[in-house]
Amino acid sequence: MANFKLFTEQSNTSPLSRLWRKFRANHVSLVGLWLFLALTVLAATAPMLAPYGINEQHADALLIPPSWHEDGDVRFILGTDDLGRDVLSRLMNGATYTFGLSIVAALVTTLVGVLVGTVAGISRGLRASLLNHLLDITLSIPSLLLAIIIIAILGPGLMNTVWAIIFALLPQFIHSVRNLVVEELSKDYISAFRLDGANHWQILVRGIFPNIYERIVVIFTMALSLAILDIAALGFLKLGAQPPTAEWGAILAENLGLIYLAPWTVALPGILLFLAVLSTNLVGDGLRNVLKERRAD
Amino acid sequence: MYKWLLGTVAVVLAGCQNEDARYAPIEGMVYCAEANPVSFNPQVTTSGSTIDLISKQLYNRLLRIDPVTGEFIPELATSWQINKDGTEVTFKLRQDVQFHTTAYFTPTRLFNADDVVFSFNRLFDVYNPYHFVGEANYPYFQSVGLDQLIRNIRKDSEYQVTFELFNAESSFLANLATDFAAITSQEYAMELMQSERMELFDQYPVGTGPFVYREYQRDRFIRYYSHPDYWEHQVNLDQLVFDITPNGTTRIVKLLTKECDVTPHPSATQLDVLRERSDIDLQQQDNLNIGYWAFNTERVPFNNPEVRRALAHAINVEKIMQAVYYGQGVKATSMLPPISWAYQEQHNLPGYNPDRARELLAEAGYENGFEMSIWAMPVSRIYNPNARKMAELMQSDLREVGVKVRIVEYEWNTFLQRVDEHRHDSVLLGWAADTPDPDNFFSPLLSCAATFSGKNPANWCNPEFDFLLTQALDTTDQAERKEFYVKAQQMIAEQLPLLPLAHGKRSQANDANIQGITLSPFGGISLAHASKEP
Amino acid sequence: MMFEFAIRRFSLLLFMLFTLSLFTFSLGYLFPGEPLTNFSGIETAGFSQSADLRAKYHLDEGYISQYLAFVGRILQGDWGLSFASGDPVFSHVLTLAPATFELAVYALLVSVIIGVPAGILAALSQGRWPDKLISGITLVGYSVPIFWLALLLIMVFCLQLGLFPMSGRISLLYEIPASTHFMLLDVMLAGFPYGGQAFTDALHHLALPTLVLATYPTTVLVRFTRDSMLNVLEQNYIKTARAKGLSRRQLIIHHALRNALLPVIKQIGLQFSALITLAMITEVIFSWPGIGRWLIDSIYQRDFPAIQGGLLAISMFIIFATIFTELLYTLLDPISRNQAHGKL
């Protein structure tokens, strides 16, 4: 039956570009995305961009307020801390430590999580049930606590924190991916595919992954925002990055004593942390909404 | 729902307000303390943060030193006499002194000679049943060598005691006047011995001081009540609470929110903020103390004096004075502070000179530097308001000369314990004097005896140096003594078992309605005269 | 049916406790230092004492026998001694846990009281300004680091306005006998001493920590309630009911709300575990003498017996809370019992 459509382009565009068009329509999410990208670029290039070294101490310039203040100094745009270190340089490098390492942690988690989660989704029997039981237990323990447990064993330190956070985020990730896979597997088109004689691998690669990767991205953003919060919280508790590492949470904790004298040294890392998490959440939320709308269509 | 809840609460509250008059709010003062006390008996510790909390509040000594004139003032002794050759000191004791009545002990007699004999015998006499309670470690007395000095303590009568000494020593009375020489209750000790609970003696204190122990919760607070029968004067505060707050910023915030009435050692960065507030008084006083950087001289490479000199040359002390002390201290030019009568400026102390440091290191065979740890004390004390920050500054200075530094921190009491065990490469620590006697800066810190009792952070035992100290103690003439102490200071500047960094000022911030706390240039704080206006 | 379900949950509980105890036991070996020291908390044992301890902890026997001895000690309340204080770890846990529990319960209450109605309101006004406002606030609340929020609140409410104290559970000048270790309860049991001032003072001390701690669970509850409500409103039976001519008010109160709130109850229970974790940060900032602050202090001090005990206590707390809410949920929602078979 001939079916005439006036606007054929629309249905011919790929799902990805349709996704983008919908995402773009939400301005708040878009702002989040730009912010997110800016932070990512900063995290990657901060050591090159920063005007001074992280631990470069200027003995002649202690506690200089930001440059727009009347006592400010143009050399130090955001002022200096009590050891004469440039706040701007430290904060920029903080993006690498806090945001960059969080992205790495979340990526590793995604990789492992997707692998294990898929296996868990496909496999049946005793193995699956044991895995699920274990998942249930670890799931009931929040990621920060799990990270603290791991740090209690490994000892405080930034790299230990990253490992701890990866381990701590994994159970949730595996659980979510497994649920996605199970959900897809029960759909009719997969059954049809299987009846056509497709093997496990083909079902996974051609059937399931193309349908769940967008939702994996959403899970990734959730993992990322948790990772940022956890790294910063551990740094703040002095269990994670140890001073003088320029991790935002650690900077904040280190400068707490200056909260009256130099409030900007406490305010700025907090604001950056907030923006990092907010932008991640905005992107995640935007994506989720778009996906939900599409399913409703 | 919410309104209903509020209503109920209001009714309940109103009901109570009418009925309950017997719980009159107890007036009291809250003092923000820096750390948990390690013990409630000052005889067994030298930790300044502990002494502040317990010594002058719970106990009395036989005599004390006037902070202004430096003269001895009778406390539990009314008078004393020294025989001709200085080997016998006889104390006449006060007859009207009541020990504390607490939940765990009710005294049946007044203070007398038995208490004095017991208190000091415990320290030196291995036959005293309490000598080995705890770890038999009486660090102050051991490090100043009192255990080698006292031959016998004799009870002449109910209210007279004589200390028999092996030889005369010029700082003997001063040592008896320190916060450590507290008088404890012999009757309480015997009672605990009978019920075989001797280990409680140092945890549940009974003294004669202005305050009575009530309650202690670790990491939270210590509560004292006033001693109603205090012999010296009426105590103004009904209640004295120590709020244990290790974090310096939190202490300031608590002062501003009126949760604490007194905060010792406010960080120098906050002083300007506090000065601007009309509801907060700030006191400052010159103090006999020294903040230093001690090397573990038993370890390679710190056993080499040239390496120590090299490291000392690498440090920019001026920068430390600016960034850590904020002008609230003076740069040390000797081991002794300038206000001590035995002080002499040491020109031999290494100044900031990184090139010289590199040269010396190369000569010692460390062209490529090495790795070391700096232990930074986790609390602020008079002599070092922020060791962590100091360590970071030094870390960056030492990097310049090729020495890689790892900064180590532990909770305060753990920290002290591990330093006593000499587990460190180097440590940022300090000493606040307990008496104006210059010996107090040397014997407790750098003598061989101090090494054995663990209180010598440099782990430095030099017989020549010890001999100087002994000679100084055997002399009574002040000018002669000064010569020995000058030599001792020179020796430290030469050998550098530790690098003297700075002398801090003692400062204290308190709410403006608190009166009667005076800072002393030495020893722990006394809150006996404190009062709070409503 | 219900019985079988309870058995299943019970066996899961046992399995979880077993895994947890196995893990805690292995910590004695995972931590640096001697297992003997880590288990007993006695750092300077003499030779004969050390031999006695080895015998007590079955350290010269196989792991299984050591593990059994370990479980036996845990059940008897012998959790070793803390390195830092020298006191039994179990007595620390007993005095500290109520403080954390108290804080967590109040925060949970606050988040339910605020979160659920806000979520419903947002769902009912979907797309209009109340929804947008609530969603915006939630997003901010969701993204703000809790320690940063706490600092901001301290700056504003304690230092600028002087409305609330920043530390502890009650002003230290009030002497409240600790009978239950739950502060408000203790004050009540003491008969509202100091003319009721102690009680208001305790409430004042609770305000900021509760608010900070409640932020995260509140935002989660708002989002969850909103989604759940929207989900229900799309269901066919609601559409049917609407088609039958029920008013919006009747529809929501009689049909939508009950079904939408059921999954929320389960979510509330799950929030408890997040609360206990966040309570650790809150306790550190507000000097709240709870188990979380103690655990973190113990980590600084490498106080291994204390870390072990603290982890065990907190994890048990969470496991029991999770199982309890699941049971509660099942009691309220019969359908979930069927699902319990296949899903785990």
Q: CATH 3.40.190.10 in chain B: give the residue spans.
A: 1-33+210-284+508-534
Strand partners, B404: B371
Q: Which residues 163-222 in chain C show a CB within 8 A of chain B?
A: 165-168, 171-175, 191-197, 199-200
Inter-chain touch A145–C281, beta carbons under 8 Å: no
Chain A residues with CB under 8 Å of B270 CB are 257, 260-261
Is the CB of B408 inside 8 Å of chain A's CB atoms? Answer: no
Q: CATH 3.10.105.10 in chain B: give the residue spans.
A: 289-504
Chain B residues with CB under 8 Å of C83 CB are 414
For chain C, list the contacting chains (3+ Cβ pairs, <8 Å): A, B
Inter-chain touch A134–C307, beta carbons under 8 Å: no
Distance CA A65, CA A264 (A): 8
Q: Per residue of chain C (344 residues), give pLDDT as tens.
A: 567 777 877 887 888 888 889 988 998 888 887 888 888 888 766 677 788 888 888 888 888 889 998 999 999 988 989 888 888 999 999 999 999 999 999 999 999 999 999 999 999 988 889 999 999 999 999 899 999 999 999 988 988 888 999 888 998 888 888 888 888 999 988 888 887 888 999 999 999 999 999 999 999 999 999 999 998 888 888 888 888 888 888 888 888 888 888 888 888 888 888 898 899 999 999 999 999 999 998 988 888 899 999 989 988 888 888 888 878 877 877 666 655 444 43
Is the CB of B373 inside 8 Å of chain A's CB atoms? Answer: no
Q: Which residue of A has its CA nearest to B251?
A: A257
A70-116 pLDDT, tens digit each: 888 888 888 888 888 899 999 999 999 999 999 999 999 999 999 98
Nearest-CA distance C203 → chain A (Å): 26
Closest CB to C301 among B214, B254, B410: B410
Q: Using alpha carbons, select from B74, C154, B69, C177 the residue that is nearest to residue A256.
A: C154
Q: Which residue of A has its CA nearest to C148?
A: A270
Q: Using alpha carbons, select from B531, B479, B524 the residue that is nearest to residue B64.
A: B524
Q: Using alpha carbons, select from B186, B232, B238 the residue that is nearest to residue B78.
A: B232
Q: Which two tokens stand for residue A281?
A: 């959440």
> Helix, strand, or coil here: B173?
helix
Inter-chain touch C166–B245, beta carbons under 8 Å: no
Inter-chain touch B12–C200, beta carbons under 8 Å: no
Nearest-CA distance A92 → chain B (Å): 20
Mean pLDDT over the full length of chain A = 86
Distance CA C291, CA C302 (A): 16
Inter-chain touch B28–C173, beta carbons under 8 Å: yes
Q: Output the CA angle A173-C213-C312, nearest 5 degrees.
A: 60
> Helix, strand, or coil here: A187?
coil
Closest CB to B269 among A59, A243, A257: A257
Nearest-CA distance A278 → chain C (Å): 5
Q: Which two tokens stand for residue B526?
A: 């006394």
Q: How many CB pairs under 8 A join A and B?
A: 41
Chain C residues with CB under 8 Å of B253 CB are 154, 158-159, 166-167
Closest CB to B414 among C84, C171, C197: C84
Is the CB of B386 inside 8 Å of chain A's CB atoms? Answer: yes
Q: Which residue of A has its CA nearest to C146?
A: A233
Is the CB of B127 inside 8 Å of chain C's CB atoms? Answer: no
Architecture of domain B38-205: Alpha-Beta Complex (3.90)
**What values do phi and psi take at B88, rounded to 5?**
-130, 130
Is the CB of B39 inside 8 Å of chain C's CB atoms? Answer: no
User: Which domains are present in chain C?
Assistant: 7-76 (no CATH), 89-339 (1.10.3720.10)
Superfamily of domain B1-33+210-284+508-534: Periplasmic binding protein-like II (3.40.190.10)
Q: Which two tokens stand for residue B341?
A: 């009568």
Distance CA C177, CA C190 (A): 7
Tell me which of C18, C21, C216, C299 to substitute to probe the interface with A (most A C-beta atoms closer than 10 Å).
Answer: C299
Q: Which residue of A has its CA nearest to B317?
A: A59
Residue whose token pair is 């706040």: A87
Q: Using alpha carbons, select from B391, B386, B419, B388 the residue that is nearest to residue B405.
A: B391
B222 vs A230, B29, B40, B244, C192, CA distance in Å?
A: 35, 12, 11, 8, 23
Nearest-CA distance B452 → chain C (Å): 18
Closest CB to A57 among B249, B388, B396: B396
Residues of chain B with pLDDT under 70: 1-26
Is the CB of B328 inside 8 Å of chain A's CB atoms? Answer: no
Nearest-CA distance B245 → chain A (Å): 14
> Helix, strand, or coil here: C308?
helix
pTM: 0.87
Closest CB to B389 among A55, A82, A261: A82
C249-268 pLDDT, tens digit each: 888 888 888 888 888 888 88
Q: What letter represents residue B164's amino acid? A: E
Distance CA B507, CA B489 (A): 27
Q: Using alpha carbons, select from A274, A265, A270, A267 the residue that is nearest to residue A89.
A: A265
Q: C304, C226 in Cβ contact below 8 A?
A: no
Chain C residues with CB under 8 Å of A26 CB are none
pLDDT at residue C47, as a whole number: 75
Inter-chain touch C145–A129, beta carbons under 8 Å: no
Q: Which residues 240-269 in chain B show a CB within 8 A of chain A?
A: 248-249, 252, 267, 269
For chain A, list the contacting chains (3+ Cβ pairs, <8 Å): B, C
Tell me which of B1, B411, B413 to substitute to probe the interface with C (most C C-beta atoms closer than 10 Å).
Answer: B411
Residue A56 has pLDDT above 70, yes or no: yes
CA-based torsion, B126, B51, B460, B494: positive or negative: negative
Is the CB of B3 inside 8 Å of chain C's CB atoms? Answer: no
Nearest-CA distance C299 → chain A (Å): 6
Distance CA B501, CA B429 (A): 10
CA C325 centroid distance within chain:
12
**What values do phi and psi take at B132, rounded to 5?**
-95, 5
Chain B residues with CB under 8 Å of A53 CB are none
Inter-chain touch B26–C158, beta carbons under 8 Å: no
Distance CA B194, CA B188 (A): 10
Q: CATH 3.90.76.10 in chain B: give the residue spans.
A: 38-205
Q: Using alpha carbons, select from A59, A58, A95, A65 the residue that is nearest to residue A263.
A: A65
Is the CB of B411 inside 8 Å of chain C's CB atoms? Answer: yes
Inter-chain touch A136–C12, beta carbons under 8 Å: yes
Inter-chain touch C145–A149, beta carbons under 8 Å: no
Topology, domain B289-504: Dipeptide-binding Protein; domain 3 (3.10.105)
